Amino acid sequence: MQLALIRVDHRLVHGQVTMGWTRSVRADALVVVSDRAADDPFEASLMRMAVPHGVAIEIWGVTEAADRVRAANLPAGRVLLLVATPVDLLPLFAAGLSNTEVNIGGVRSPGASVKLTKEVHATPEEIDAWKALAEKGVELSVQWLPDQKRRSLNADVVRR
């Protein structure tokens, strides 16, 4: 397994991911980490239908994903890992995920009162998660589409 990209985007599987990012990183598989999606067969079904032909998809809850990271039991090939919030990402790093960069799309959780960028709004819990990731040396890059310029979020969250 090669982790081609980690993306935080509250929409999870949608057009920018399926058409832009999956192609850009040449992903063989999407791994969606979301308790909500894992527990909702209808939402999971919609995600499966949106994935491009030839790309596999796995949908796991956060605990299952952390267990799989710990056991190095991830899909073969180039994997695009998707989570909705940085809070869902922290347990994966605690389980041994060691990537140095996280790509960030739109993140707007209910109750998010802190605007970090036009695309990224955060709850206090999410601010803490972003800070924890930055303190681990993870580069947090806001970038909607592969051909757009990246903007670092690290300085914004460390100041808070």
pLDDT in tens, 77-100: 999 999 999 999 999 999 999 888
Tell me the pTM. 0.93
Q: What is the pLDDT of residue 158?
A: 67
Structural domains for the chain:
2-158 (3.40.35.10)
Type of residue numbered 115: K
Q: Tell me which DSSP letter residue 150 carries.
A: P
Gyration radius (Cα) of the chain, Å:
15
Kindly tell me if the per-residue pLDDT of 66 is higher than 70: yes
State pLDDT tens for residues 35-57: 999 999 999 999 999 999 999 99
Measuring CA to CA, which residue among 63, 61, 65, 87 is closest to residue 74?
65
- Rounded distance between C-alpha atoms, residue 27 and residue 91, angstroms: 23
The continuous run of DSSP H or E covering 44 comes out as helix 41-50
